[in-house]
């Protein structure tokens, strides 16, 4: 029987649901939390930006502002795809469905390895990470 995983994710929370065959009940098998994924950039900075003064010019902030919260979400996507790669190597699933907020789905796509890309059979631009197994299954059945 085919084992299907559904990854429901956003930048701060992800869950993996498993079903054996398309019509079987889903069960949650893994839960991931990234508390920094919802943090504001200002909450993640530990000090002020550097200052620069050119010859005869007043001091001003450096222009190289990095969105730390975005970096945290990117790292979370990278960690999730590594988990999926490892699970695929261990043959824990046969098919994969991705359901994520549009921006986070793009991050996941960017980091998925070729072998995992081959088993992705559906991508859904919707954040279902806060839904229970029955709710996810119900939403998928309506598609």
**Mean pLDDT, rounded, of the chain:** 85
Please report whether residue 55 resides in a domain: no
Please report whether residue 87 resides in a domain: yes
| pLDDT (0 to 100) of residue 91 | 97
Total domains in the fold of the chain? 1
Please report whether residue 113 resides in a domain: yes
Please report whether residue 75 resides in a domain: yes
Please report whether residue 86 resides in a domain: yes
Identify which has the larger pLDDT, 58 or 13. Answer: 13
| pLDDT (0 to 100) of residue 47 | 47
Would you say residue 80 has pLDDT above 90? yes
Would you say residue 117 has pLDDT above 60? yes
Please report whether residue 124 resides in a domain: yes
Whole-number Cα distances in Å, 29 to 1, 39, 85, 122 = 18, 26, 16, 19
Report the pLDDT averaged over residues 62-73: 72
The residue range of the domain holding 120 is 3-36+62-141
Would you say residue 50 has pLDDT above 70? no
Please report whether residue 47 resides in a domain: no
Q: Long-range contacts made by residues 44-52, C-beta under 8 angstroms, separation at least 24?
A: 44/68, 44/69, 44/72
The CATH number assigned to the domain holding 76 equals: 3.30.420.60
Please report whether residue 79 resides in a domain: yes
Choose among 120, 96, 127, 116: nearest CA to 10: 127
Report the pLDDT averaged over residues 43-68: 54
CA 29, CA 31: separation in Å to the nearest integer?
7
| pLDDT (0 to 100) of residue 142 | 85
pTM of the predicted model, to two decimals? 0.80
């Amino acid at each position: 029987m085919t084992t299907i995983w559904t990854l429901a994710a956003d930048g701060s929370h992800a869950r993996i649901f498993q079903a054996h065959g398309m019509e079987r009940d889903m069960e949650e098998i893994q839960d991931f939390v990234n508390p920094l994924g919802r943090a504001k950039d200002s909450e993640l900075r530990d000090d002020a930006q550097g200052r620069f003064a050119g010859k005869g010019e007043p001091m001003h902030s450096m222009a190289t502002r990095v969105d730390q919260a975005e970096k945290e979400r990117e790292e979370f996507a990278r960690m999730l795809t590594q988990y999926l790669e490892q699970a695929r190597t261990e043959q824990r699933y046969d098919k994969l469905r991705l359901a994520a907020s549009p921006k986070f789905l793009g991050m996941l796509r960017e980091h998925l390895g070729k072998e995992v890309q081959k088993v992705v059979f559906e991508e859904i631009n919707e954040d279902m990470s806060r839904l229970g197994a029955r709710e996810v299954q119900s939403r998928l059945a309506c598609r």
